[in-house]
Copies of this chain bind each other. A is one copy, B any other.
Amino acid sequence: MFRTAELGQQISKQDYREIEPVLRQELLALQRELLALSSTPVMIVFAGVDGAGKGATVNLLNEWMDPRWLTNCAYRAPSEEERERPEYWRFWRDLPAKGSIGLYMSSWHSRPVLDRVNEKITVPEFDEDLDRIINFETAQAVDGALILKFWMHLSKSAQKKRLRALEKDPLLAWQVTARDWQHWRMYDQFIEAAERLIMRTNTAHAPWSIVEGSDPNYRAVMVATTIRDAMARRIDEIKAQQALREATKQSVADLPDMLTTAPIALPSVTVLNQLNLEQTLSRSDYRSQLKRYQAKLSLLHRRAFEQGTSTLVVMEGPDAAGKGGAIRRVISALDPHTYQVQPFAAPTDEERAHHYLWRFWRHLSRAGHVTIYDRSWYGRVLVERVEGFAQEIEWRRAYAEINDFEEQLIERGIVLIKIWLHISPDEQLARFKEREVIAHKQWKLTDEDWRNREKWNDYELAAHDMVQYTSTHHAPWVLVEGNDKRFARIKVLKTLCDALEKILDN
């Protein structure tokens, strides 16, 4: 795989002097143009052999391009806070905003390759890591990111020559440590792992370029022209799409209205309309069970906190289903030092400039905490789908992205509980009318609630699909019958207790 990068490619000093200023100017111009379009984050990944010029190339790009929209992202051994979250937390945190460029070193490819070289993981485990890499890069790419990956290569003998030369220079000898020679001795294993990495993760939307690293001029020009060409192509694509959209908008406007208002056909049987909403709980049973489960939850949470086990509770359901009331019964059993209610507020402009999952990654709490999401990332396949805020292609791929996200949470030992609190349309109407008359509940009822109600079928279908596609073995949806508030609240508390108990007893 790397033979083509051991040809001794060079660019003469004289040629370089001519090429460099032109390249710099082109890169700068493209960077500014991409920034103005503000739809594309750029992720440029550097990996490869020691001494093949990764750092030097990153430095060069820092010098050549506008540093205001360029960030260096490099990773050491994970910190305590990073270890408390899934491995990819820190990569999600650092994602560049639309229009910005991130330069990555020692990033998500690094740990799997080194683990494989040091035989800490088997080949099948390595492959799983590579799958995660593909998922991560794909999620960013389909969301609009431009991803370029450079493998900087040096042959084994060239690497040896380089180390020897450094050692001989009294000013530079300090750069060579025992670790460098140790790495050199592992060269063959390293190349083997690298080949597998590149072979498997060399996708169309996140391609690798293998660059011969021995001549600084050559590698600089290779990397810079690859970046230049990719950026130019992307800008052309965006402009073509914009033109197409303009043209389409015109022709759609000419179509009769009926085409856009086709009614949604709800399957006669959905997971929701099969629920037995008649279940109730007497006031006295409620009182005794509330006390019992709150005490139990309190103890379980204390144990979970002590062993650093976090809990995420997702609460979804129709308006007025009683999510707030159920959440209040949960939190009054918890220590306020270690829980958070995370509401689903409108995204900030920073959040809008990233993948829609970014804001959920970014706010993952520290170990041992309970976070309750009053609406959640499922907004993508519920409200955003129904209201048309997300295009069909976007919400359809969200199912897989969400499953992947949740899998990473569970792998890190986080307890994930997903609750759909359901009520019948009639019950919702009764509660809306009640809210209209009770003073301290009026604020809870908005015009939007009435509008959402008109789309009951759309929402029910979206919820049905959501349960279908995201109720996995490890992260199942719990459907809670909510027409009777007492019954629902106890079932929610019990669900939390059961989930915590199951994990803590393992």
Q: Which residues of A contact B (CB under 8 A)?
A: 21, 24-25, 28-29, 32, 55, 58-59, 62-63, 67-72, 74, 76, 79-81, 103, 105-106, 171, 174, 295, 299, 302, 324, 327-328, 331-332, 334-341, 343, 345, 348-350, 366, 374, 439-440, 443
Contact = CB atoms under 8 A, between A and B. Distances in A.
A366 to B, nearest CB: 7
B55 A335 contact: yes
Contacts of A334: 59
Contacts of A62: 328, 331, 336, 341
Given A67-B374, A74-B337, A74-B338, 7 more contacts: A28-B443, A63-B331, A67-B343, A76-B337, A79-B81, A80-B80, A81-B81
A406 to B, nearest CB: 23
A390 to B, nearest CB: 22
- Which of A32, A68, A81, A299 has the most C-beta atoms of chain B within 10 angstroms of its own C-beta? A68
Nearest to A342: B67
A225 B348 CA distance: 32
B299 A174 contact: yes
Contact of A327 (B67, B328, B350): B67
Nearest to A174: B299
A348 B348 contact: yes
Contacts of A332: 59, 63
Copies in the complex: 2
A59 B440 contact: no
A70 B327 CA distance: 14
Nearest to A292: B171
Contacts of A343: 67-69
A345 B59 CA distance: 21
A468 to B, nearest CB: 29
A349 B347 CA distance: 11
Contacts of A21: 440
A72 B103 contact: no
Contacts of A440: 21, 24-25, 28
Which 3 pairs, one residue from A and one from B, show the smallest C-beta to C-beta distance? A68-B343, A74-B337, A25-B440
Nearest to A441: B25
Contacts of A295: 171
Contact of A337 (B68, B106, B331, B337): B106
Nearest to A27: B440
A337 B107 CA distance: 11
B105 A366 contact: no
B345 A348 contact: no
Given A331-B62, A350-B350, A337 B105 contact: yes
Contacts of A299: 174
6 contacts: A21-B440, A28-B440, A28-B443, A29-B443, A59-B332, A174-B299
A300 B59 CA distance: 18
A335 B336 CA distance: 43
A296 to B, nearest CB: 10
B105 A58 contact: no
A120 to B, nearest CB: 22
A336 B28 contact: no
